[in-house]
């Protein structure tokens, strides 16, 4: 609807005469009446009606100056214009009220009793109206400051969320080549050594990658899908060293549907293979346990490999990457713990809130 239509004009008037402002105007009129009544000799109802008419005029002036003129000189703040406009409007509004209710014949201002009442109402009205106008403007400034602070907070939260998403994506990209290159290097060793298992391992790797690659670009999966990924990885590793690697997967049924950042459990398992089982001449066993207790998901990876001190160079950047990904994914409410496993090996655990996937 065009701005100049009657409906748009009514909406504009409704904004000027909002119920909060109307209530403030009525309150101001009552306050002025209480200031004037001690010396008032006429009817209180007549006084109050006169004040309400004057208050309506002052309210309209305050609202109009809020929007008009659209542009002001740089040296004239709008709040100054509004307060000055209210102070000037009070005597004019009271004069209009007297003209409406007293009449112009004979002129009310020619009679001393009306002139006296006019001066009394005007003095009290200017005092109360300017005070209320300043209070209203201060409330507007405070409300606008709160609105801007909320807008800035929302914008900051959105930027932080985007930064977290970007960081998660970067860490995810670091996981992809780390895993893929290590696995392909294992296959190359079998090919170079002429192992008859090379073809079987390569076929298993191809099947694994077909299932794994679509998940590499997802930030979140379920613990059940993560365990499937771990199982496929361990099958490939078992084919590469069948006599030196045994494994077992144990998981609570209620934990399979929980949200889990992609390739986090796989990172622990890969570390166990690379830094625990592979360097050991006798190999070892890897056991994965997933439990849900007290609203928390705990995923353990235990290996009986060379242990923390026997690993060549330690676990590297894999665990640091894992810790950061979990912290970003769960807002700091996640932990990764690593320690020795007796009599030999390493115990690693990641713990985070048990959140069920919406899917």
Higher confidence at residue 218 or residue 282?
282
Over 80: is that where the pLDDT of 333 sits? yes
| Nearest of 286, 282, 191, 281 to residue 237 by alpha carbon | 286
Q: Pick from 89-93, 171-175, 332-336 the range whose average pLDDT is largest.
A: 332-336
pLDDT of residue 215: 64
Coil, strand or helix: which one is 340? Answer: strand
pLDDT of residue 296: 94
Which class for 358: exposed (0-12), middle (13-18), buried (19 or more C-beta within 10 A)? exposed
Taking the CA atoms of the chain, what radius of gyration do you get in angstroms?
39
Question: How far apart are alpha carbons 176 and 340 in whole angstroms?
Answer: 28
Question: How far apart are alpha carbons 168 and 161 in whole angstroms?
Answer: 10
Q: Pick from 72-76, 112-116, 297-301, 314-318 the range whose average pLDDT is largest.
A: 297-301
Average pLDDT over residues 83-107: 78
Q: Cβ of 267: how many Cβ atoms within 10 Å?
A: 23
| Nearest of 338, 350, 250, 347 to residue 303 by alpha carbon | 347
pLDDT of residue 288: 96
Token output for 294: 């007290």
Higher confidence at residue 11 or residue 276?
276
Residue 12 has phi, psi (to 5 degrees) of -65, -40
Enclosing H/E stretch for 251? strand 245-251
* Contact status, residue 86 vs residue 130, Cβ threshold 8 Å: yes
Average pLDDT over residues 305-323: 71
Higher confidence at residue 339 or residue 175?
339
Average pLDDT over residues 188-194: 80
| pLDDT band with cut points at 50, 70 and 90 for residue 17 | low
CATH 3.30.565.10 boundaries in the chain: 195-353
Average pLDDT over residues 74-94: 85
Token output for 201: 């391992």
Over 60: is that where the pLDDT of 8 sits? no
pTM for this prediction: 0.52
Residue range 168-190, pLDDT digits in tens = 565 555 555 555 676 677 678 77
Question: How far apart are alpha carbons 343 and 157 in whole angstroms?
Answer: 48
Fold classification of 195-353 is Heat Shock Protein 90 (3.30.565)
Token output for 134: 């300043």
Enclosing H/E stretch for 305? none
Q: Which DSSP symbol is given to 355?
A: -
Mark residue 332 as left, alpha or beta (left: phi above 0; alpha: psi -120 to 50; beta: remaining): left
Average pLDDT over residues 136-159: 82
Residues 6+ apart with CB under 8 A from 140: none
Taking CA atoms, 80 is separated from 22, 73, 121, 122, 145, in Å, by 21, 12, 23, 20, 19
Over 80: is that where the pLDDT of 52 sits? yes
Residue range 110-126, pLDDT digits in tens = 666 677 878 888 888 88
Token output for 239: 């084919």
85-88, Cβ contacts within 8 angstroms, sequence gap of 24 or more: 85/61, 86/58, 86/61, 86/62, 86/129, 86/130, 86/133, 87/126, 87/129, 87/130
Question: How far apart are alpha carbons 339 and 346 in whole angstroms?
Answer: 6
If you average pLDDT over every residue of the chain, what do you get?
79
* Residue whose tokens read 């390493």: 346
pLDDT of residue 3: 47
Average pLDDT over residues 320-333: 84
| Nearest of 282, 302, 223 to residue 257 by alpha carbon | 223
Task: Name 289's bridge partners.
Answer: 250, 300
Task: Name 348's bridge partners.
Answer: 301, 338
Higher confidence at residue 215 or residue 45?
45
């Amino acid at each position: 609807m065009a701005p100049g239509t009657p409906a748009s004009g009514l909406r504009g008037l409704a904004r000027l005469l909002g119920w909060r402002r109307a209530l403030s105007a009525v309150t101001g009129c009552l306050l002025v009446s209480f200031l004037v009544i001690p010396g008032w000799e006429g009817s209180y109802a007549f006084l109050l009606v006169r004040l309400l008419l004057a208050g309506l005029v002052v309210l309209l002036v305050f609202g109009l100056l809020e929007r008009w003129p659209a542009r002001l000189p740089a040296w004239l703040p709008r709040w100054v214009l509004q307060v000055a406009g209210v102070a000037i409007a009070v005597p004019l509004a009271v004069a209009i009220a007297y003209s409406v209710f007293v009449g112009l014949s004979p002129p009310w201002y020619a009679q001393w009793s009306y002139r006296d009442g006019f001066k009394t109402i005007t003095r009290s009205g200017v005092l109360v109206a300017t005070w209320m106008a300043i209070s209203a403007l201060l409330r507007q400034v405070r409300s606008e400051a709160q609105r801007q602070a909320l807008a800035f907070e929302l914008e900051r939260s959105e930027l932080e969320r985007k930064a977290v998403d970007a960081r998660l994506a970067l860490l995810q990209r670091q996981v992809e080549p780390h895993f893929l290159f290590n696995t392909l290097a294992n296959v190359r060793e079998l090919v170079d050594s002429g192992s008859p298992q090379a073809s079987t391992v390569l076929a298993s790797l191809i099947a694994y990658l077909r299932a794994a690659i679509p998940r590499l670009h997802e930030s979140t999966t379920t613990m059940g899908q993560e365990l499937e990924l771990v199982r496929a990885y361990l099958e490939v590793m078992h084919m590469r060293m069948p006599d030196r690697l045994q494994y077992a997967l144990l998981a609570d049924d209620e934990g399979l549907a929980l949200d889990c950042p992609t390739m986090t459990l796989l990172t622990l398992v890969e570390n166990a293979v690379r830094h625990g089982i592979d360097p050991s001449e006798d190999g070892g066993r890897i056991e994965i346990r997933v439990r849900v207790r007290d609203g928390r998901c705990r995923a353990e990876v235990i290996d009986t490999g060379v242990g923390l001190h026997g690993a060549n160079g330690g676990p590297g950047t894999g665990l640091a990457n894992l810790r950061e990904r979990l912290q970003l994914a769960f807002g700091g409410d996640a932990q990764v713990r690593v320690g020795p496993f007796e009599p030999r090996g390493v115990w690693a655990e990641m713990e985070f809130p048990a959140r069920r996937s919406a899917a």
